[in-house]
Amino acid sequence: PENLLGVLEQIEKLNVNKSLGPDGIHPRVLKELKWEIAELLSVVCNLSFKSASIPNDWKVANVTPIFKKGSRDDPGNYRPVSLTSVPGKLVKIIVKNKIVKHVEEHNLLDKSQHGFCKGKSCLTNLLEFFEGINKHADKGDPVDIVYLDFQKAFDKVPHQRLLCKLHGHGIRGKVLSWIENWLKDRKQRVGINGKFSDWRGVTSGVPQGSVLGPILFNLFINDLEKGVSSEVVKFADDTKLFRIVKTEADCEGLQEDLTKLSEWATKWQMKFNVDKCKVMHIGKNNPNYTYSMMGANLAMTNQERDLGVIVDSSLKTSTQRAAAVKKANRMLGIIRKGIENKTQKILLPLYKTMVRPHLEYCVQMWSPHLKKDILALERVQKRATKMIRGLERVPYEERLKQL
């Protein structure tokens, strides 16, 4: 049972800048009226857990399509984010916390998973991955990387198979029954610029952008690499594997692993988007083996954007540096044109929040060592500090001292 203090704690943690769900209840309202609402909501929570059911209003979602990359005319290039009832979200947070506690206590998640895991992130994913790659590359050994792409991963999760996986991970009783009820009779509609489609039933998948979606998905694909001998690293559904390929037998071993992954996808009613799965060959003596999945050869690539960082088959970071500098300079241009009063008080916070993050995103992984790359990053900061009123003609080193 959930007590009043537990519900109050979750209300306190609500982000008032988040969007509201279909019921129109804004998170700010809950925070402002927390003392009046918490007691009633705790009663609803306990009734929901006791009966292993939730109100129908908490099963509906407004879906907002978020553009990823590629052609804006292709619906496949948008990520559907589900906006659900905020009061319902509080109850889901409590359920999620119970699941996470169980998973952590029993160490259930495979160490290859970095997505939505405590103490892990895109950075830990990239650092672990490239530590493994560089360990072989530094010895001159050829390595093959395969970047996998699930087709609509979160949307395709079959509910009954998900419940089977949860049961296998020890999530049973009222919690499992509650999740089963939550998955039933779901509805959603797409909203763009205040206009909405008709309501449609949802027969598969876990909602992206929801509280429970990530942890349920992680548990669903937890055994993805079972029986696979190559190294696998995951961030939610973003999956890649690599293997040293000195001999043809090594290449065949990687191909066998891809076949096992394809068989896993078929068994669990998931699907790889083979057209978007890519192979990167690293090393001068690489045999450039042709790999396949589902009867189709995988395309080769010399560059791949991996969790927002550009990876080059040469393992050099100049391309990523150039992309980071370009984004940072573009943002500086917007600030220069849009801000008239360029005082230190105004520009410094803007630089720290809108420009510098582009230069520092996962920089621990791609930190440049070539002088030209280091100077290119420094020029962005030099340009930014020169925009500050009163420092336009002050030498760069002196500007830094004053700031």
CATH code of residue 272: 3.30.70
pLDDT band at 20 (very low <50, low <70, confident <90, very high): confident
Average pLDDT over the chain, rounded to an integer: 93
209 domain-assigned = no
69 lies in the same domain as 191: yes
Per-residue b or e along 182-200, where b marks 16 or more CB atoms closer than 10 Å to that residue's CB: bbeebebebbeeeeeeeee
Are 165 and 269 a contacting pair, CB within 8 Å? no
80 domain-assigned = yes
Q: pLDDT digit string (tens) for 229-287?
A: 999 999 999 999 999 999 999 999 999 999 999 999 999 999 999 999 999 999 999 99
Average pLDDT, integer, range 151-170:
96
Tokens of 15: 């982000």
Are 296 and 277 a contacting pair, CB within 8 Å? no
Q: Distance between CA atoms of 266 and 259, rounded to whole angstroms? A: 11
Q: CA torsion 381→383→385→390, rounded to 10°? A: 170
Q: What are phi and psi of 300, to 5 degrees?
A: -95, 145
Contacting residues for 290 by C-beta, under 8 A, at least 6 apart: 297, 298
355 lies in the same domain as 271: no
The sign of the torsion formed by the CA atoms of 53, 58, 60, 64 equals negative
Closest CA to 115 of 248, 221, 39: 221
Query: For residue 71, what pLDDT is reported?
Result: 85
Q: Tell the residue number behind the tokens 């393992």, with chain if given.
A: 315
49 lies in the same domain as 127: no
211 domain-assigned = no
- The two beta strands, 278-282 and 299-300, are parallel
Last residue of a domain, one of 287, 312, 337: 312
389 domain-assigned = yes
133 domain-assigned = yes
| Residues belonging to the chain | 403
241 domain-assigned = yes
145 lies in the same domain as 62: no
61 lies in the same domain as 8: yes
199 lies in the same domain as 135: no
pLDDT band at 2 (very low <50, low <70, confident <90, very high): low
Tokens of 158: 């079959």
329 lies in the same domain as 187: no
- The two beta strands, 186-192 and 60-67, are parallel
Residue 362 carries which side chain, given as an amino acid letter?
C
246 lies in the same domain as 142: yes
Q: Tell the residue number behind the tokens 């609402």, with chain if given.
A: 37
231 lies in the same domain as 194: no
> Where in the sequence is the domain holding 353, given as residue range(s)?
318-402
Last residue of a domain, one of 274, 296, 312: 312
Give bridge partners of residue 83 from the DSSP assignment: 62
27 lies in the same domain as 130: no
Q: Is the pTM of this model over 0.95?
A: no
232 lies in the same domain as 164: no
214 domain-assigned = no
141 lies in the same domain as 230: yes
* Tally of domains within the chain: 3
256 domain-assigned = yes
Residue 71 carries which side chain, given as an amino acid letter?
S
State percent of the chain over pLDDT 90.
Answer: 80
